[in-house]
Amino acid sequence: MSKMRRYEVTAAGDFASVLAVLTDHLGLRLLSLDEGQRSWLDTPAGTLERAETTLEFRRPSGDGTPTLTWAAEGRVLVHDPCVSSTPPVQSSELPDSPAFARLATLVDGGELVAGPTVNSQIAVLACLDDEEKTTARIIFDRSETIDGITLPMLLEVLPLRGYEDEASALEKKLKRSVALSASVTPMRELAQQGASEGRGAGSGEDGAALVPTMSAASAWRAVFQDLSDAITKSFSGVLSGNDPEDLHAFRVAVRRIRTILQDGDDVVDPESRDRFRHEYRWLGDVTTPTRDADVHLIEFPELAATLPPSRREELVPFKGILERHRADCHAAMTVELRSMRRAEFGTAWLSFLADDDAWTGCGDLADEPVLRIVLRRVEKANRQLVKNGRKISKKSPAIALHELRKEGKRLRYLLECFSPLFNEKALATILRPLRDVQDDLGEFQDTEVQANALLELAGELEGADDHSALMAIGGVIEQLGVRGAEARASFSKTFGQFDNRKVQRAFDQLEPRKKKR
């Protein structure tokens, strides 16, 4: 068979009108027209993408049976019914057929994770010659992300072997009848781009999908989806462990989801909320040791630089201990992330986000305008932070500052995840000093945790004949103590810059002003 040609439909008009041109004007025969939801599956390492194949889980609208479609260059290799109503999470759950057995071999019996999910209308058409023989198949695909972002419509032409000339003639007719532009981007990539760039709600940098008048349930769902996309995007990097920033991005998204779930009472289905709060807490817990180990190594050069030059070489044996510790933590974390628990929880979460029924009448406040609900949650979080922040004194235990840090994160994540809803000037007035407070509290907490961890790891050096490395570590831990003390000492001033009239008044100005007509 010849190579598939892909085009983006740039013509004005909806799916139905373009389809009518293809069937009525160009005389193409409609073989099938399917509507429903589809998700692309791959291994965490992207095995199928590297092999230039795709695996789609399709859930049709209505009461139809879900299917799995394995394809290469637009050509279906196998299309079978799926026993389960949810995507498979292990290759052992693929349909029992010779074709899918080949697929299981390709992924080496590994895990399958869901990528982007879209709602689609897909028409498959045939171009017939005078003898009613098929010369080419045409796939017309119109999709949108689950939060309503419309993706470019694609038209793919697949010539049958021996009919290249007829397919070329068809392409000329298509270009005369429908505005097309050549494209190398498959729908899977368009869906990924639409999910991660179109909304931006979770990052607080774009968030075009969030508007003050949308329902609270729709807004919560959009934010969750954006954060889930961030987790999916970083997941393979987390498993490889090559770049610590992948795990950092992964954990930030996890913490934000936990915060938005926490503040989703009367908006999110309570049973689902409780379940996923528990699971995301577990996900945070199993990734914490590796992140801590990453921080030890990232900050090691800076910590070593606090020692006299003659002492820095003494730390070389300890750096090896840190590297082995990080490798052990990463190996243990990978086992958890590849576990059945993580796979089932991840699949359930994606199904929850994709299930319209789960977001209909799911709470007493679900249908309320989101801005009204979020402003109440922000006001409550700020009131708690201010109240407890004013209680902090020189005698306050470290745990009090740690709890205050969590309260600050809650407020910050609410503001950042729903940032498109707010007045930009008021938001900036609040976030600058709030982040400074977070930095102080984070420095105090992190130096304490790091000092304790380094002290414990230093125990591996106690049996050495040369105790110079132990002495050097003592100097590093002492410097961490100095940094922590400085952060604590500066807290009062930093918090005062947040807890002042200008910043607190900005909370009353978060609601955007209505434009004058």
Residue range(s) of every CATH 1.40.20.10 domain in the chain: 199-507
pLDDT confidence of residue 199: 44
Nearest-angstrom CA–CA distance, 246 and 64: 38
Contacts (Cβ under 8 Å, ≥6 apart) of 214: 369, 370
Which residue type is seen at 279?
E
CB atoms within 10 A of CB 276: 22
Helix (H), strand (E), coil (C) string for 275-302: HHHHHHHHHHHHHHHHHHHHHHHHHHHH
Residue range(s) of every CATH 2.40.320.10 domain in the chain: 5-192
Per-residue DSSP letter, 369? B
pLDDT confidence of residue 462: 64
Nearest-angstrom CA–CA distance, 470 and 464: 9
Q: What is the DSSP string of 181-194?
A: EE----HHHHHHHH
Q: What is the pTM of this model?
A: 0.60
Q: Looking at 362-455, which runs of residues are DSSP E strands? A: none
> In CATH, what is the architecture of 5-192?
Beta Barrel (2.40)
From first to last of its 517 residues, the chain has per-residue pLDDT tens of 467 889 988 754 567 767 878 887 788 999 988 888 989 988 887 888 888 888 899 888 877 888 888 888 777 888 888 767 788 888 778 887 887 888 888 887 678 888 888 999 899 999 999 889 999 999 999 898 887 788 888 999 999 988 888 888 999 888 887 778 888 888 988 888 876 654 444 444 333 368 888 999 999 999 998 898 888 778 778 888 888 998 999 999 999 999 999 999 999 999 999 999 999 999 999 999 999 999 888 888 887 888 888 777 777 778 888 899 999 999 999 888 877 777 778 778 877 888 888 998 888 999 999 999 999 999 999 999 999 999 999 899 989 999 999 999 999 999 999 999 999 999 999 999 999 999 999 888 888 888 888 888 777 766 655 567 777 778 888 888 888 899 899 999 999 999 999 999 999 999 987 654 4
Which residue type is seen at 276?
F
Q: What CATH number is given for 199-507 in this structure?
A: 1.40.20.10
Please compute Rg for the chain using Cα positions.
28
